[in-house]
Structure 1
Amino acid sequence: MVAVLVLLWDASGLDVVVMGGFADANGFALRHNWWLERVFHDGARQLAVVLFLGLWLTVWRPLGWMASISRLERLEIAIGISLSLLLVSGIKRYSLSSCPWDLQTYGGYAQYLSHWAWGLKDGGSGHCFPGGHASAAFAYLALPLPWLLSTSMTKQQRGQRILWGVLVAGMLLGATQTLRGAHYPSHTLWSGMLCWLTALANHQIFAMLGQSRRSTRLA
Structure 2
Amino acid sequence: MLLGLVLLLAWDGGGLDLPLARLAGSAQGFAWRDSAALVFWLHAVPRWISSAGLLALFAGALRPWDWQRGWPARDRWQLVGAIALAMVSVTVIKRLSASSCPWDMAEFGGVAQYVSHWVWGVRDGGAGHCFPAGHASAAFGYVAGWFVLRRRVPRLAAPWLAAAMALGLVLGLAQQLRGAHFMSHTLWSAWVCWCVGLAWEAIAQRGACSRASAAAATKLNRS
- Tell me: CA distance 1:69–1:144, structure 2 relative to 1, closer, same or farther (3 Å): farther
Corresponding residue for 2:194? 196
Corresponding residue for 1:159? 157
Corresponding residue for 2:111? 109
- Equivalences for residues 52-131 of structure 1 within 5 A: 52-67=54-69, 69-131=71-133
Distance 2:142 2:194 in 1: 9
Deviations 1:47-88 (A, max 9, x none): 221111221111021213233533211111122112212211
Instruction: In structure 1, list runs of 5 or more residues that go unmatched.
Output: none
Distance 1:147 1:71 in 2: 14
Q: CA deviation at 1:177?
A: 0.7
Distance 1:9 1:147 in 2: 30
Q: CA deviation at 1:147?
A: 3.0
Corresponding residue for 1:41? 43
Supply the AA of the counterpart residue of 1:37. Answer: V
Tell me, what secondary structure is at the counterpart of 1:120?
Answer: coil
Equivalent of residue 173 in structure 1, options 171, 174, 197: 171
Distance 2:71 2:186 in 1: 30
TM-score, normalising length from structure 1? Answer: 0.93
What's the C-alpha RMSD, in Å, of the aligned pairs? 1.5
Supply the AA of the counterpart residue of 2:173. Answer: A
Instruction: In structure 2, list runs of 5 or more residues that go unmatched.
Output: 219-223
Distance 2:29 2:121 in 1: 27
TM-score, normalising length from structure 2? Answer: 0.91
Q: CA deviation at 1:122?
A: 0.3
- Tell me: CA distance 1:183–1:68, structure 2 relative to 1, closer, same or farther (3 Å): farther
Distance 1:215 1:78 in 2: 27
Q: CA deviation at 1:26?
A: 1.1
Distance 2:49 2:158 in 1: 23
**8 Å contact kept, 1:81–1:141:** yes
- Tell me: CA distance 1:68–1:6, structure 2 relative to 1, closer, same or farther (3 Å): farther
Equivalent of residue 206 in structure 1, options 201, 204, 215: 204
Distance 1:39 1:143 in 2: 24
Distance 2:160 2:84 in 1: 18
Distance 1:112 1:10 in 2: 13
Q: Give the number of aligned pairs.
A: 215
Q: CA deviation at 1:176?
A: 1.2
Q: CA deviation at 1:137?
A: 1.0
Aligned-residue sequence identity (percent) comes to 40
Distance 2:34 2:171 in 1: 15
